[in-house]
């Protein structure tokens, strides 16, 4: 069945460091891919998305490119800030699974000054 | 802005109690979802609903039921709460999409339930 695997955390970085959080997926058909972020004490909110191969989603300095050949959707940011400390979830949704989302287990990021 | 609200942020109940978690969305979305979130397990789908009075089991429906009497409201019911249902519960609703499976989900702030 459809699934998402993302890199385990926790990840700790210094401010202004480069961030990569790996995400790979398994899906039949052509899924849409998402990154969600969860700040402490809050629900999830959409960070970025891509709906077809080679699309690049971007928001708040974060980017991810939909790579069909490697079934990946890695999240990157060139220079992290303390305010980026949160849990990041990779997710997919595919037409053949109707309206269901499949989430990764989440990667906790802490950015230290 | 889309707003998804949940009736409580924190809830403490005793084993065997019947528990109601309420979720309301204000964007006229047809699809609504209930997840539980546990450390190391990510989000797991409990139930979802395509429309009023319609429901589908997710990955972990045992011990839960749902009710969708109005489009904006989706309730999760723990018939007889147990300690292993202590968790964070997240409600979500989904935008319509051009083709099935493409719209994003909007989440509520979550309800942290503790069952003693």
DSSP structure string for B78-108: ESS--GGG-EEEEEEEE---SSTT-SPEEE-
Lowest-pLDDT range of A82-96, B9-23, B73-87: A82-96
pLDDT of amino acid B100: 44
Instruction: Give the pLDDT band (50/70/90) at residue A98.
Output: low
How many Cα atoms within 13 Å fall on the side-chain side of residue B103? 17
- Torsion, Cα A52 A54 A55 A61, to 10 degrees, reads 140
d(Cα A4, Cα A34) in Å, to the nearest integer? 11
* SS3 call for A81: coil
B27 Cα distance to chain centroid: 16
> A22-63 pLDDT, tens per residue?
999 998 878 899 999 999 888 999 999 998 899 999 999 999
Would you say how long chain B is, in residues? 116
Q: Are the beta carbons of B26 and A89 closer than 8 angstroms? A: no
Please enumerate in sequence order all residues whose Cβ is within 8 A of that of B84, keeping only pairs 6 or more positions apart, or say none.
none
User: How much is the average pLDDT of A4-28?
Assistant: 94
d(Cα B21, Cα B89) in Å, to the nearest integer? 9
pLDDT of amino acid A99: 64
* SS3 call for A83: helix
Tokens read off for B7: 């009736």
pLDDT of amino acid A113: 95
> B27-83 pLDDT, tens per residue?
888 889 999 999 888 899 999 998 899 999 998 999 999 999 999 999 999 999 999
* Cβ count within 10 A of residue B44: 15
Strand A3-6 to A23-26 pairing: antiparallel
Distance from CA of A76 to the nearest CA of B (A): 20
* SS3 call for A87: strand
Residue to mutate among B24, B25, B40, B43, with most A CBs inside 10 A, is B43
Option in B4, B40, B94 nearest A99 (CB):
B94
Which residues, numbered 75 to 114 in chain B, qualify as contacts with chain A under a Cβ-Cβ cut-off of 8 Å? 90, 92, 94, 99-110
User: With contacts defined as CB-CB under 8 Å, which chain B residues touch A36?
Assistant: 107
The CA-CA-CA angle for residues A65, A66, A70, to 5°, reads 110
d(Cα A91, Cα A109) in Å, to the nearest integer? 17
């Amino acid at each position: 069945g459809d699934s998402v695997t993302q890199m385990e955390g926790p990840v700790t970085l210094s401010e202004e460091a480069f961030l990569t959080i790996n995400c790979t997926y398994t899906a039949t058909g052509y899924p849409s891919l998402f990154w969600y972020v969860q700040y402490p004490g809050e629900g999830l909110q959409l960070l970025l998305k891509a709906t077809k191969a080679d699309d690049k989603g971007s928001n708040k300095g974060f980017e991810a490119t939909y790579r069909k050949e490697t079934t990946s959707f890695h999240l990157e940011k060139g220079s992290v800030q303390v305010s980026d400390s949160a849990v990041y979830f990779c997710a997919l949704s595919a037409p053949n699974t109707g309206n269901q989302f499949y989430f990764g287990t989440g990667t906790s990021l802490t950015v230290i000054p | 802005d889309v707003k998804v609200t949940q009736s409580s942020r924190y809830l403490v109940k005793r084993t065997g109690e019947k528990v109601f978690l309420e979720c309301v969305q204000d964007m006229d979305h047809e699809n609504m979802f209930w997840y539980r979130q546990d450390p190391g397990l990510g989000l797991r789908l409990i139930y979802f609903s395509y429309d009023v009075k319609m429901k589908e089991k997710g990955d972990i429906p045992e011990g839960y039921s749902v009710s969708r009497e109005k489009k904006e409201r989706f309730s999760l019911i723990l018939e007889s709460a147990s300690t292993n249902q202590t968790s964070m519960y997240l409600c979500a609703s989904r935008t319509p999409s051009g083709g099935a499976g493409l719209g994003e989900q909007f989440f509520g702030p979550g309800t942290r339930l503790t069952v003693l």
